[in-house]
Each structure stands twice: as structure tokens, then as C-alpha cells.
């Protein structure tokens, strides 16, 4: 069984990391979502890839200078298309409610919070608190490029499966010791230059592999044939339904 993750939701059809993008998943037969989470100044965990509002909202400025009350005035949809005018920047709690309602499974990517370790530590604690609301039937993977943060998350929440993210340029000789420190079951490597030899090496070491970001169906099939377990894609809607039967 292979896993198809809707990367930031159905992000080719709706503004990334919004409730609208995640709400589209089930109608396309997608059960796993990937989302990015970061933190506001008052500790609220929000769903956002960037640590500023500049790219994906009608505002600009840092997330770390906002409080929850500011979210009501932020439009995270109109940059994408007029159909999404007024789409809010969601809190993580709102997303968890949708995940429960739509019976989705979720990969939560804890962003490399640039506001310092104190805020990173708060982000980890508040993600753990919010996860209390996730229904028991839902599957969960927590991942991060920030391996220190991921190790700390795993120390505080050992029952959760975790995954180490690596950019293709960041996959040095020490990848396995990093996975060991984080007690990770998964490696999430970037697709750029990923080879069959590397996939075989990850497998031989006993890790499961989900690759980002794979929008080409032929490449996804090649990766699956090499033994990759899942791919993150912006274009899950283009994967034919005959393939979707294969996916968890
Ligand atoms: O979690 C997979 C992928 O989302 C990691 O990269 O930059 O898209 O969050 P990014
Ligand atoms: Mg991500």
C-alpha cells in the first residue's frame, strides 16, 4: 500500500494550507494530508508554510508579531483566486476539527520557527496540546527539518511516529545518526537527485520513505517501484483513480 499525501492540501486547486484546500481531499479520494505549522506571538499554532504573511495573504509582516485576534482580518485566499476571497488563515485547532470531521490522516510538519528556541519550544508544547483533540482513529506523522525540535517533540510525545525531513543538499553522511537521535521511523527526503541507490540504503537501514514534492505521475511510479512508501504531491487530483486504489 502506497501513500499519497496532499501537500499543503489540494494546493493546485485551492490556496495552500487553508481549510478549503484540505476540505477538497476526500472528494478526490485522498486520505492523507500534509500541513505546515508555526506559532503566533500569543502562542496560537497556525497552519502556514511561511513565517510571514507576504506570499499567501493580503497582508505582510511576520507571524511572530500577530495574536489570534489579528487572524479575523487576514485573507489567505484572494492571492490564489477570487473564488477564495475571505478564506481565513487557519489555526491548527481548526484544521484538527476538519481532519476529524473528514476522517483524514495527517502529517504535521513543524516549521523551523525562526523566532528562537523559546518560541520553538512553545510551538512543540502547543502542537502536543492541540493533538489531544485528534480523534483516536486518525493516523499521524510529525516531521521537521529542524531535527533538534523533532527530537524534543519525540522526547515529550514518544507515542507519535516522527519523520526527519531532508533537503537534497542536506543529506550528508550523518543522516542515519540524525534519524536515530530523533527515534524516527520515516525519512522524508526531497526528490531532487534522489537515486535508487539512496532509496535502497534507507530501506536497508530499516526506514520507511516518503518523498517530497512529486507532481509527475511517472516519477511517482518510478519511486514506488524503487520501494518508496509515499509521495507528497500538489496535484493529487491528476493521479488516476485506478492508482488511488493502491493508496492508503
Ligand atoms: O513535508 C514535506 C514538504 O512539505 C517539505 O517541504 O517546504 O514544502 O514544507 P516544504
Ligand atoms: Mg511542508
What is the ipTM score, two decimals? 0.99
Rounded to the nearest angstrom, the distance between the alpha carbon of 1 and the centre of ligand 2 is 22
For residue 177, name the pLDDT band (cuts at 50, 70, 90). Answer: very high
Model confidence at 146, in pLDDT bands (50, 70, 90)?
very high
The count of domains in the chain is: 1
Give CA–CA dist 111/153, Å, rounded. Answer: 12
pLDDT, position 1: 80
What number is the average pLDDT over the span 118-147? 97
Which CATH number belongs to the domain containing residue 156 in this structure?
3.20.20.190
Residue 83 maps to a domain: no
Measured in angstroms, how far is the CA atom of residue 231 from the centroid of ligand 1? 11
Residue 146 lies in a domain: yes
Average pLDDT for the chain:
95
pLDDT of 97 above 90: yes
Q: How many residues does the chain have?
A: 248
- pLDDT top residue among 13 and 27: 13
Mean pLDDT over residues 170-175, rounded? 89
Q: Inform me whether the pLDDT recorded for 173 exceeds 90.
A: no
The answer to whether residue 170 scores a pLDDT higher than 90 is no
Give the model's pLDDT for residue 245: 53
**In a domain? residue 68:** no
Helix axes 117-131, 92-102, angle to 10 degrees: 30
For residue 14, being part of any structural domain is answered with yes
Average pLDDT over residues 5-28: 97
Mutation to probe ligand 1, out of 21, 22, 36, 211 (largest number of atoms < 8 A from CB): 36
**Domain boundaries, position 220:** 3-51+90-244
Helix, strand, coil percent content, the chain, rounded in steps of 5:
40, 20, 40
* Structural domain contains residue 239: yes
Residues in contact with 134: Cβ distance below 8 Å, sequence separation at least 6, in sequence order: 96, 99, 100, 106, 140
DSSP state of 62: B
Assigned domain for 71 exists: no
In a domain, 142, yes or no: yes
Query: Is any ligand 1 atom within 6 A of the Cβ of residue 191?
Result: no
Q: What DSSP element (H or E) covers 108?
A: strand 105-110
pLDDT tens string 199-231: 999 999 999 999 999 999 999 999 999 999 999
Among 105, 166, 232, which is best to mutate for testing ligand 1, by the most ligand atoms less than 8 A from CB?
232
Q: Is 79 part of a structural domain of the chain? A: no
Per-residue pLDDT tens over the stretch 37-60: 999 999 999 999 999 999 999 999
With residue 19 as reference, give the H or E element that holds it.
helix 19-23
Residue nearest to atom 1 of ligand 1 (CA): 109
Amino acid at each position: 500500500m502506497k501513500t499519497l499525501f496532499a501537500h499543503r492540501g489540494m494546493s493546485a486547486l485551492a490556496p495552500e494550507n487553508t481549510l478549503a484546500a484540505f476540505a477538497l481531499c476526500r472528494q478526490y479520494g485522498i486520505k492523507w494530508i500534509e500541513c505546515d505549522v508555526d506559532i503566533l506571538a500569543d502562542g496560537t499554532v497556525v497552519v502556514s508554510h511561511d513565517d510571514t504573511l507576504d506570499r499567501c495573504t493580503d497582508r505582510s509582516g511576520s507571524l511572530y508579531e500577530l495574536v489570534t485576534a489579528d487572524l479575523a482580518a487576514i485573507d489567505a485566499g484572494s492571492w490564489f483566486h477570487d473564488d477564495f476571497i475571505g478564506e481565513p488563515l487557519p489555526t491548527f485547532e481548526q484544521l484538527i476539527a476538519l481532519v476529524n470531521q473528514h476522517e483524514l490522516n495527517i502529517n504535521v510538519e513543524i516549521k523551523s520557527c525562526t523566532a528562537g528556541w523559546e518560541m520553538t519550544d512553545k510551538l512543540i508544547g502547543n502542537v502536543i496540546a492541540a493533538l489531544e483533540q485528534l480523534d483516536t482513529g486518525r493516523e499521524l506523522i510529525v516531521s521537521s527539518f529542524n531535527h533538534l525540535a523533532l527530537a524534543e517533540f519525540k522526547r515529550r510525545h514518544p507515542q507519535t511516529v516522527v519523520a526527519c525531513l531532508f533537503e537534497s543538499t542536506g543529506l550528508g553522511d550523518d543522516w542515519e545518526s540524525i534519524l536515530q537521535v530523533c527515534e524516527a521511523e520515516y525519512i522524508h527526503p526531497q526528490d531532487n537527485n534522489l537515486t535508487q541507490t539512496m532509496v535502497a540504503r534507507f530501506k536497508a537501514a530499516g526506514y520507511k520513505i516518503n518523498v517530497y514534492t512529486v507532481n509527475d505521475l511517472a516519477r511517482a511510479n518510478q519511486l514506488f517501484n524503487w520501494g518508496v512508501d509515499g509521495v507528497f504531491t500538489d496535484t493529487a487530483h491528476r493521479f488516476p483513480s485506478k492508482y488511488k486504489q493502491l493508496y492508503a
